[in-house]
Structure 1
Amino acid sequence: MKYVPVGKGHKAILISILVIAIFIPFCLQGCSLSTETGTEDFQSEDVKEGEGVVQEEDPEEERLRVEEEERELQKKLEEERKLREEALRVDLGHFFVPLPPLEQEDNPPVKAKGIYVTGNSVGLTSRFERLLDMVAATELNAMVIDVKNDHGLMTYRSEIDILIQSGANKSAPVKDMQEVVAMLKEKGIYTIARVVVFRDPLLPEFKPEWAIQKNQGGVWRDNKGMGWVNPYNKNVWDYNIAIAKEAALMGFQEIQFDYVRFPENAHRVDREAYYPGEDGKPKDKAIQDFLTYAQKQLEEYNVYIAADVFGVIATSWGDTDKIGQTWEKIAPLVDYNCPMIYPSHYGSGYFGFDVPDAHPAGTVTHALNDAIKRNAHMENPGIIRPWLQSFTASWIRGNIPYGPQEVRAQIDAALELGIDEYLIWNAGNRYQPDAFLSPEEALINEEKIKSDREQKGHDVLGHTAEKALEEYLESVRRKDWREAMVYQSTGFSYDHHQFREWVGQWTGRLTSYDIIARDNLSEGKVFSLDFTITIDGNELITKGKNFEVYKENMIWRVKPPTEFIETLAFIPEATMEEEQDTNN
């Protein structure tokens, strides 16, 4: 509400007017004021100067008052923060990391196109400058920098008590990581801190009880002699999350958890080792619980969370490799889901290729198709940002050299599927600038691909709404629960176990259908269908039912009419009577 300022010169005039307005009626009507609703007594009293006049506070006084209130609020918040930190220090002990500052800079999302950078590369000025020059001259705009590396070592000197005790600070190549991050951000480079989690050969030497244990006793080690920490152990969680918090305080905009899994070759590992604290909990539930805990612990630190996952988990269902990674249990818990879809990491026969490594574009296309489909039925899955290959897999029979053309083929394959973010891996940080476009060329290329797709009415899988409807109906006809789950929109999330069980309970089979009309909706399409569902040899013919098709998670998805779903799952009366007799 605004107040009208009243100056001293106007006060006397205003008071005189008020006096006249009050006393003339009083004198004329004899100490009473008449209204249409009656008469009430009016007692006069002296009118004091300024009474009844709303005055605005002096601007300077108001400014000082506001500043004082802000100081008091700031002081209160700082006192509360101090008390919280004291409580956290007691609660977390040697895992303690300070809380973030009360005021933090904005951290808007970025479509990252990044490269992996080791701590040694950051610490070696000449090499780091070459990488910075390449990023500045190309479409690249991000760096994934080791914070805790594959050997369990920090790339800068951490101030966390448990890290100091564990010896993780030895040989830290980066003198001032905070300064490096600030410099990168000034250059417009998005900063991602890589934290290698459960593959940690250092920590088991310091805390062997936190490691995966051999059945015969002692720390279990993989083929390379490296110990792994136990994903069921909460101390291990707190150790790595403390590192993530410290990285956030240094200004990193995103935390990327790598090796967020159990060791591969699970049949051997599970035969030779055991996991204290497992207590019947599945491996993928342990990883899910870790990411849930990390998400909660980092929510005040103004960072995005990413997880690196095996590319094959987008193609296989459930934790088939027994490494603790199931797509549906990871994707909803991260801002960015980063499948490592290196063509060299797929075995012979994958996607129909004898040597997937020799087909960079084709392998990436198939892998990302699967990833997009896996996101389709989830309410809020992490953005797919794949790791792509920039190295020659010389150990694979039939491999091909990976030069600029092979790297570019992977980037373009992802773009065709609407995925305009990527990360490039080369363990030695030897990248090929010719693989990347200039920022201007990349923008033109991306907009052209997107425009062509939209003009054709295609989703990122290359389907029109009608094609997606046909794919859905054919999957229903075949009772292919995997494909049906991709295309059927329900308005809620469900897992593949539930959907597979539901499809298995269908008593009806879709035997024919005919699209008889098409129309547009404000945000989708509607198709009128005649269809026939057969139950126990009896054909149930339904005419003129509307199937709505909308875009969800980048693809066209079908919302079938209730009658269609109910008829598929229809329980014949005779069967119901048989069930009742059995129950009785």
Structure 2
Amino acid sequence: MTLSWVRTEPRGLTVTGLPNSLVGAATMSAMTLRVDAGEYDPAAMRLELDGEPVTGAVDGSTVVYRPGALPDGEHKFTAEIPPSFLGFLRTGPGVSKTFTVDNEAPTLELTQPTGVTSYRQPVTLRGKAKDAERVSVGNLSATPADDGSFEIAMPRAQTGAQVVAVDAAGNQTAQTITAAIEQPRIKAVHVTAYGWSDDELREDVLNMARDGRINTVQLDIKDEDGEVGYDSQVPLARESGAVMRIYDAPAALRQLHDMGIRVVGRIVAFRDKTMAEWAWQNGHQDWVIQTPSGEPYSSRYGPIAFTNFANPEIRRYNIDLAVEAARLGFDGIMYDYIRRPDGALSQMHFPGSTTSPTVSIAEFLHESRDPVRDAGAEQSAAVFGVASTRPEEIAQDIPLMAKYVDYIAPMLYPSHWNAGEYGVASPNSQPYDIIFRSLQDFRTQTQGTGAKVVPWLQDFSLGVSYGPGEVRTQIDAANDAGVNGFFLWSPTVRYHLAGPSD
């Protein structure tokens, strides 16, 4: 009998770590193959990839091999224990596996949605994803047609969300939805809860709406004292005694909406005397900003006025109010006092905080954004004018915050600027100059974030008498700066907005 050399496929070892389907680039870069040597000596194991020897690492009774990047196409991996004697009829125990690598990601062409004016409006996202087997936005997905076209029906606009196309090998291509809600140019005045409940003041505001001087009313939901102006059903608002029932929110919304007027609800977030005092007295001291010695932090707003923005319960309380208001019909939610108190940071302690106040404030906006939008409202933040140049002063980083809002609303009151800011010698006497120059900075700070800029302007006298001329000058400066309108602030809810403001 004549013996001939016969090499058969090795058997008897097991390999794990190989997917059952195509292997994509991301999977390939992280792929780890483990060959179990069983009763054999793993140090004797020989490995081959595509017929060439490769080296693995012994780990207990297994040998570990990481292929790294490989070119497209079929590849063969073999692991074998050599026979302990010359074997012409068989190899030693081993294992052989073939797999196919596909490194090319699908192409993705996204048609940005247009004509979307509200988060209450359903949106259909369209595009083409060649070679993709699935396209998704969050938990919504679609299977592309043969030509790659797809449609995803979304309950609302998903500005800032990632659209991800995935092929059979797991390769991904992503694009961001950059289309923002198409807001009308905002022409707004601020109204307190007590101002709206006053017949004379309310009628003055309605007259401004009737003759086209304003198209938006900004109405307090929770004010600087922490009082909630309408009959909120948020449990913590009721338990803490914050609910004051000053005005009828559904009736106010109905009246203004019937006139074609949008309503932005203002929530004073973390300056909240009512909640801070209640929390401190009811065993929730960690809900309050403290001194390093563990006492409530005292500020110019009072001995216990600021809640702890790092606390999950305080965050949830403000978000619950925002969501409730959005569901009632408020078109937008604006957070005010979304910052730390003034003063030296070394004298403040934020129980439970694991990051800087600046990052924590932005994280709150991130946490709030989707719940507020899901409830149908836009989200915005009122910020200090100096936040664009001195973000750490009150923990307001404009580029960071802007990623999570529809617009930033800087409070640019000329009376609040120091002499020489932005090269303006006397800001209070030069309202056009300080408004125009600071807005240029805010536009730069928000560039690429998707957020618009809508400034707060001054309609009160502090050091310099302000009337219709000064108000008009500020509005002209905002128009010339190319921003999306204005909000006027008067603490007495009496305004000097004479004639159309376009």
Task: State which of 391, 412, 415 in structure 2 corresponds to 1:341.
Answer: 412
After superposing the two structures, state which structure 1 stretch, 422-431 or 121-130, moved more.
Answer: 121-130
Partner SS, residue 273 of structure 2: coil
1:277 CA displacement: 1.2
With a CA cutoff of 8 Å and minimum separation of 6, indicate the structure with the bigger relative contact order. Answer: 2
Residue of 192, 198, 201 corresponding to 2:273: 201
- Cα distance in structure 1, aligned partners of 2:316 and 2:392: 28
Q: 1:305 aligns with which of 361, 379, 386?
A: 379
Answer yes or no: is the 8 Å Cα contact 2:292–2:347 preserved in 1.
yes
Encode CA deviations 1:318-377: one digit per residue, 9 max, x unaligned: x331x210111011110011111111121122122332111000001110111122233x
Aligned to 2:451: 382
Contact 2:192 2:219 in 1 (8 A): yes
Aligned counterpart, 2:471: 407
Query: Aligned pair 1:262/2:262, yes or no?
Result: no
| Residue 417 of structure 1 pairs with residue 417 of structure 2 | no
Alignment match of 1:354 (pick from 412, 425, 432)? 425
Query: Is 281-290 or 344-353 further displaced after alignment?
Result: 344-353
Q: What is the Cα deviation at residue 205 of structure 1?
A: 1.5
Give the letter for the 2:492 counterpart: G
5+ unaligned residues in a row in structure 1: which ranges? 1-101, 395-399, 443-584
Secondary structure of the 2:462 match is coil
Contact 1:387 1:423 in 2 (8 A): yes
Equivalent position of 1:149 in the other structure: 223
Q: Following TM superposition, by how much is the alpha carbon of 1:108 offset from its aligned partner in structure 2, in angstroms?
A: 6.3
Aligned amino acid, residue 223 of structure 1: R
Q: What secondary structure does 1:194 align onto?
A: strand
Q: CA offsets per residue over residues 50-80 of structure 1, 9 Å max, x none?
A: xxxxxxxxxxxxxxxxxxxxxxxxxxxxxxx
Structure 2 CA distance, aligned partners of 1:248 and 1:108? 18
Instruction: Answer yes or no: is the 8 Å Cα contact 2:333–2:378 preserved in 1.
Output: yes
Contact 1:315–1:367 (8 Å) recurs in 2: no
Question: Residue 163 of structure 1 is aligned with which of 227, 234, 237?
Answer: 237
Which residue, 348, 351, 356 being the options, matches 1:273?
Answer: 348
For normalisation by structure 1, the TM-score amounts to: 0.53
| 2-structure distance, mates of 1:262, 1:155 | 24
Q: Give the superposed CA RMSD.
A: 1.9
SS at match of 1:207: helix
Moved beyond 6 Å, runs of 4+: none
Deviations 1:252-281 (CA, angstroms, capped at 9, x unpaired): 01000111110122x1xx3433111123x1
- Once the 2 structures are TM-superposed, how far is the Cα of residue 125 of structure 1 from its aligned partner? 1.9
Tell me whether 1:331 sits opposite 2:402 in the alignment: yes
1:426-483 deviation digits (Å, cap 9, x = unpaired): 111110132x426xxx2xxxxxxxxxxxxxxxxxxxxxxxxxxxxxxxxxxxxxxxxx
Larger Rg belongs to: 1
Equivalent in the alignment of 1:244: 322
8 Å contact kept, 1:110–1:190: no
Aligned to 1:87: none
SS in 1 for 2:415: helix
Do the aligned partners of 1:284 and 1:326 also contact (CA within 8 Å) in 2? yes
Residue aligning to 1:124: 198
Describe how 1:489-568 pairs up with structure 2 within 5 A: none
The aligned amino acid for 1:334 is V
Give the C-alpha shift of residue 220 in structure 1: 1.6
Q: 1:103 and 1:315, CA in 2 relative to 1: closer, same or farther beyond 3 A?
A: closer
* Cα distance in 2 between the residues matched to 1:103 and 1:304: 11
**Is the CA contact 1:138–1:433 (under 8 Å) kept in the aligned structure 2?**
no
Quick one: distance in 1 between partners of 2:252 and 2:435?
33
Q: Deviations over 1:404-433 (max 9, x none)?
A: 111111111111122241100111111013
Residue identity in the other structure for 2:399: E
Contact kept, 8 Å, 2:326 with 2:377, in 1: the verdict is: yes
Q: Is the 8 A contact 1:315 1:371 kept in 2?
A: no
Deviations 1:305-327 (A, max 9, x none): 010011112234xx331x21011
Question: Within 1, Cα distance between the matches of 2:324 and 2:201?
Answer: 26
Distance (Å, rounded) in 2 between the aligned partners of 1:118 and 1:297: 25
* 1:109 counterpart (173, 183, 203): 183
Measure, in 2, the Cα distance between the counterparts of 1:223 and 1:420.
33
CA distance in 1, matches of 2:294, 2:205: 46
> Equivalents in 1 of 2:252, 2:196: separation in Å?
8
State the one-letter code of the partner of 1:417. A
Q: Does the 8 Å CA contact 2:381/2:408 hold for their aligned counterparts?
A: yes
Alignment partners' CA distance in 1, 2:356 and 2:339 = 12
- Alignment TM-score, normalising by the size of structure 2: 0.61
Match of 1:212 among 285, 289, 301: 289
Matches of 1:353 and 1:299, distance apart in 2: 39
Structure 1 letter corresponding to 2:272: D
Task: Please tell me whether the aligned partners of residues 267 and 334 of structure 2 are also in contact (alpha carbons under 8 angstroms).
Answer: yes
Percent sequence identity over matched residues?
30
- Determine the structure 2 residue equivalent to 1:320: 392
What is the Cα deviation at residue 295 of structure 1? Answer: 0.8
Shift of 1:103: 11
Q: What is aligned with 1:173?
A: 246
Alpha carbons of 1:420 and 1:262: their partners in 2 closer, same or farther (altered >3 Å)?
Answer: same
Q: Deviation of residue 112 (structure 1)?
A: 1.2
Residues 142, 191 of structure 1: 8 Å contact kept = yes
Give the strand-richer structure, 1 or 2: 2
Task: Tell me which amino acid in the other structure corresponds to 2:353.
Answer: E
Which segments of 5 or more consecutive residues in structure 2 lack a partner in the other structure? 1-154, 158-180
Q: In 1, Cα distance between the equivalents of 2:358 and 2:392?
A: 10
Question: In the TM superposition, what is the alpha-carbon distance from 1:390 to its structure 2 partner?
Answer: 0.8
Contact kept in structure 2, 1:386 and 1:421, CA below 8 Å: yes
| Secondary structure at the counterpart of residue 437 of structure 1 | coil
CA contact (8 A) 2:373 2:379 kept: no
Distance change in 2, residues 1:162/1:420 (3 Å) = closer
Letter of the 1:368 counterpart: L
**Residue identity opposite 1:136 in structure 2:** R
Code of the residue aligned with 1:262 in structure 2: it is: R
Task: Give the C-alpha shift of residue 381 in structure 1.
Answer: 2.7
1:38-53 equivalent positions in 2, closer than 5 A: none
- Partner of 1:295, secondary structure, is helix
2:308 to 216, 226, 230: 230
Rounded Cα–Cα distance in structure 1 between residues aligned with 2:235 and 2:484: 40
C-alpha separation in 2, matches of 1:215 and 1:103: 45
